[in-house]
């Protein structure tokens, strides 16, 4: 009797608030007003199946048969056998392989009228189909035909978004690499313990008795990552040719495999990949020359992007980097999120929505990635500034692929300018610098670093010297002039335009003069524990006591603009950096002791 009253109350509530996303009314009658008759049984049963399928494929809901759209109680006029068939509709009119998660199917006697009541939960195991093989999903107050693949994708995406934030009850802090955590935590605070660091970045929570770890903590810092994820890996594959083949013509070989936690993956996979970004060619002057064929920064950005945003819930797959003769493909498991389109990425709108919220935050805080949404845009810009065609982005078969092509793309004006240097058989990076200096434009050191896409000071020095020896690059500013102008460029000597590209003499190569020779060693030091509110000028004034400062870089928080507590200082000479590192007296900025370390690439 109590249960019956509860069902009657449910009808009262339903007719009071009406239909909604979670509630549907169906009539058991048909025909004109005042002359309605009983609807066909099969039509009623199919309507029930269709509605319940739509609810189960969405967020669940309840269905009342015997209530009109205007909330009037009309009842079911059918006999007992047909009412029994109506109650059996959720089973008999739904494909048996996709059974509904039915909570209730009951007949309610409501003031002398029969009402059929059905309640169904949100489905998670199946994409539910009617007996006709049709798929519906609840949208607002309608049961809308929907492709089953879209529902399946949405559910998989929801699982992938939750993966890195889930707590793992069997894990403890002893499963983590504490030395790695300490080294990363120093970018935030020198005194923060590993436990506090994990809680600060919400990688762990104290439940009153112990510290509970999220999956993100294990993926980032686990001592034994394979215990928690079987495919925390990056495979480097070499493909001979421009397409993969099978059988007797199989042309794929493994060039290396990196395994470990995310920080280990980033470092180790980059070391494996980097040698494949260059090639040795026999030049016109009968010398073997090694040159970069892809911008290093673009490749590293694409690799880190894949590691950061892959779908870790797909535990059976790892990241694959395929090196073809004409392109580099970085494939990460997981389709592009539904909120982002390939068109958005190709149009460089900077859209972003991180699948792995906690992983992305840690990598951003520690300086491994820039602002969210900037990675793909940065890759496109680096390829463009290096005269290479746009990257290709695809998302087939639960994967996301970024392809970088070794194919040049110049404007008409740039092609005419570069034709003047054709007989010199310039490398790609040499051409990039020459293009920057089109028609007498002065070029800065910073532009060369960024637009050539190199990450090594050695590459920079070799590149500059090679262009000087060809007699096509001259330093147009003295050191004093550069110092005087750096205030116009955020106090950065590297950003001051100083190099000029001149047309070559075809008959004779001009030897480098003494004034042209670059003596700078660009020695870099790493400083930590700097105040969060500090300017580059304040840091520079403090460190000029050791020698001439070439450049200062202080990573900042995107929202507040404050420093992240660390930075990099480049001196003109290595001996000046050594002086700073070996300085015995404490160095303080605004009352905080600054720690100085050797910068290691």
CATH number for the domain harbouring residue 468: 1.10.10
Which residue is listed with tokens 């070794």?
406
Backbone phi and psi for residue 433, each to the nearest 5 degrees, phi listed first = -65, -45
Residues 6 or more apart whose CB falls under 8 angstroms from that of 33 comprise none
- Are 110 and 6 part of one and the same domain? yes
Q: Which is it for strands 211-214 and 204-206: parallel, antiparallel or unpaired?
A: antiparallel
Show the tokens assigned to 508.
């004779």
- Are 6 and 84 part of one and the same domain? yes
pLDDT value at position 290? 55
Question: How many domains would you assign to the chain?
Answer: 4
- Are 532 and 507 part of one and the same domain? no
Task: Using only the alpha carbons of the chain, give its radius of gyration.
Answer: 33
CB 329 within 8 A of CB 402: yes
pLDDT value at position 283? 46
Residue 556 DSSP one-character state:
B
H/E stretch holding 436 reads helix 428-436
Handedness of CA 97, 102, 108, 110 (dihedral sign): negative
Q: Is residue 124 part of a domain?
A: yes
CB 185 within 8 A of CB 194: yes
Which residue is listed with tokens 């190709």?
346
Show the tokens assigned to 125.
């195991």
Quickly count helices (H) and strands (E) in the chain: 20, 26
pLDDT value at position 284? 44
Question: For the CA atoms of 161, 163, 165, 167, what is the dihedral angle to 10 degrees?
Answer: 160
Which own/partner pairs from 537-546 qualify as long-range (CB within 8 Å, at least 24 positions apart)? Answer: 537/491, 538/589, 539/567, 539/569, 539/589, 540/491, 540/569, 542/587, 542/589, 542/594, 543/569, 543/571, 543/580, 546/571, 546/576, 546/577, 546/579, 546/580, 546/583
- Are 15 and 90 part of one and the same domain? yes
Residues 6 or more apart whose CB falls under 8 angstroms from that of 275 comprise none
94 - beta bridge partners?
130
Domain that holds residue 131: 2-146
- Residue finishing a domain among 518, 553, 576: 518
pLDDT value at position 517? 38
Q: Is 200 exposed, middle or buried, given 0-12, 13-18 or 19+ CB atoms closer than 10 A? A: middle
- Are 512 and 591 part of one and the same domain? no
Residues belonging to the chain: 601
Q: Is residue 400 part of a domain?
A: no
Residues 6 or more apart whose CB falls under 8 angstroms from that of 371 comprise 364, 558
Angle CA(44)–CA(45)–CA(47) in degrees, nearest 5? 65
Residue 338 DSSP one-character state:
T
Q: Is residue 334 part of a domain?
A: no
Q: Is residue 511 part of a domain?
A: yes
Choose among 567, 447, 549, 455: nearest CA to 501. 447
Domain holding 549: CATH number? Answer: 3.30.70.330
Which residue is listed with tokens 């215990």?
227
Q: Is residue 267 part of a domain?
A: no
pLDDT value at position 558? 60
Q: Is 507 exposed, middle or buried, given 0-12, 13-18 or 19+ CB atoms closer than 10 A? A: exposed
- Are 559 and 447 part of one and the same domain? no
- Are 586 and 512 part of one and the same domain? no
Q: Is residue 361 part of a domain?
A: no
Which residue is listed with tokens 């070439």?
550
Show the tokens assigned to 86.
């109506």
CB 334 within 8 A of CB 436: no
CB 589 within 8 A of CB 530: yes
- Are 511 and 533 part of one and the same domain? no
Which own/partner pairs from 145-152 qualify as long-range (CB within 8 Å, at least 24 positions apart)? Answer: 146/57, 151/57, 151/127, 152/127
Q: Is residue 70 part of a domain?
A: yes
pLDDT value at position 77? 94
Domain holding 75: CATH number? Answer: 3.30.950.30
Task: Count other C-beta atoms under 10 Å from residue 289's C-beta.
Answer: 14
Show the tokens assigned to 203.
């990688």
- Are 201 and 65 part of one and the same domain? no
- Residue finishing a domain among 488, 518, 548: 518
Choose among 220, 235, 318: nearest CA to 272. 235
- Are 511 and 418 part of one and the same domain? yes
Q: Which is it for strands 167-168 and 136-139: parallel, antiparallel or unpaired?
A: unpaired
How far apart (Å, rounded) are the C-alpha atoms in residues 108 and 116? 6
Q: Is residue 345 part of a domain?
A: no
Measured in Å, how far apart are the chain's first and last C-alpha atoms?
76
- pTM score, whole prediction: 0.58
Q: Is 259 exposed, middle or buried, given 0-12, 13-18 or 19+ CB atoms closer than 10 A? A: middle
- Residue finishing a domain among 191, 208, 227: 227
- Are 16 and 87 part of one and the same domain? yes
- Are 6 and 140 part of one and the same domain? yes
Mean pLDDT by 10 residues, the chain (601 residues): 66 90 94 90 96 92 94 94 96 95 94 94 89 93 88 82 92 94 82 87 88 96 96 96 91 95 95 83 46 81 93 94 93 86 79 81 82 77 82 92 84 85 86 91 89 73 89 87 84 89 68 41 80 86 86 75 83 86 89 85 57
């Amino acid at each position: 009797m109590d249960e019956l009253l509860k069902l009657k109350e449910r009808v009262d509530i339903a007719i009071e608030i009406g239909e909604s996303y979670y509630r549907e009314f169906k009539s058991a009658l048909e025909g004109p007003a005042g002359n309605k008759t009983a609807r066909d049984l099969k039509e009623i049963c199919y309507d029930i199946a269709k509605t319940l399928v739509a609810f189960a494929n969405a967020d669940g809901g309840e269905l009342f048969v015997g209530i009109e759209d205007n909330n009037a109680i009309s009842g079911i006029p059918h006999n007992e056998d047909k009412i029994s068939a109506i109650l059996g509709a959720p089973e008999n009119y739904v494909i048996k392989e996709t059974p509904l998660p039915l909570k209730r199917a009951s007949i309610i006697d409501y003031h002398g009228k029969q009402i059929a009541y059905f309640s169904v939960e949100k489905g998670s195991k199946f994409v539910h189909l009617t007996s006709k093989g049709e798929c519906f999903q609840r949208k607002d107050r309608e049961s809308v035909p929907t492709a089953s693949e879209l529902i399946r994708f949405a559910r998989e995406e929801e699982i992938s978004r939750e993966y890195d934030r889930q707590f793992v009850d069997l894990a403890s802090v002893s499963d983590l690499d504490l030395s790695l955590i300490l080294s990363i935590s120093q970018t935030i605070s020198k005194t923060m313990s590993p436990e506090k660091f994990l809680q600060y970045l919400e990688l762990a929570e104290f439940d009153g008795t112990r510290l509970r770890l999220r999956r993100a903590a294990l993926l980032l810092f686990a001592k034994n990552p394979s215990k928690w994820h079987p495919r925390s890996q990056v495979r480097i594959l070499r493909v001979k040719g421009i397409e993969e083949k099978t059988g007797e013509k199989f042309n794929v070989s493994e060039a290396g495999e990196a395994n470990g936690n995310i920080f280990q993956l980033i470092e180790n996979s980059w070391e494996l990949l980097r040698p494949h970004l260059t090639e040795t060619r026999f030049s016109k002057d009968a010398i073997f020359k090694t040159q970069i064929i892809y911008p290093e920064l673009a490749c590293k950005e694409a690799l880190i992007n894949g590691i950061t945003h892959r779908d870790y819930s797909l535990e059976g797959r790892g990241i694959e980097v395929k090196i073809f003769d004409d392109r580099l493909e970085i494939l990460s498991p997981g389709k592009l999120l539904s909120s982002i389109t390939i068109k958005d990425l190709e149009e460089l709108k900077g859209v972003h929505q991180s699948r792995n919220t906690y992983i992305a935050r840690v990598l951003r805080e520690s300086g491994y990635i820039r602002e969210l949404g900037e990675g793909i845009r940065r890759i496109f810009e680096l390829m463009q500034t290096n005269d290479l065609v746009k990257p290709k982005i695809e998302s087939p078969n639960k994967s996301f692929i970024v392809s970088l092509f070794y194919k040049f793309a110049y404007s008409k004006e740039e092609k005419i300018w570069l034709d003047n240097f054709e007989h010199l058989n310039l490398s790609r990076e040499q051409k990039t610098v020459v293009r920057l200096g089109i028609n007498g434009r002065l070029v800065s050191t910073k532009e060369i670093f960024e637009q050539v896409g190199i990450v090594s000071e050695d590459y920079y020095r070799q590149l500059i010297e090679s262009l000087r020896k060809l007699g096509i690059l001259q330093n147009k500013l003295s050191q004093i002039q550069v110092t005087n102008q750096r205030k116009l460029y955020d106090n950065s000597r590297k950003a001051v335009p100083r190099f000029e590209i001149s047309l070559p003499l075809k008959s004779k190569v001009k030897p480098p003069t003494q004034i042209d020779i670059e003596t700078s060693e660009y020695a870099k030091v790493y400083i930590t524990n700097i105040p969060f509110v500090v300017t580059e000028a304040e840091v520079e004034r403090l460190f000029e006591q050791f020698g001439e400062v070439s450049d200062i870089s202080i990573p900042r928080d995107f929202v507040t603009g404050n420093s992240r507590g660390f930075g990099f200082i480049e001196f003109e000479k290595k001996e000046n950096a050594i002086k700073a590192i070996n300085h015995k007296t404490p160095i303080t900025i605004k009352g905080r002791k600054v720690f100085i370390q050797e910068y290691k690439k």
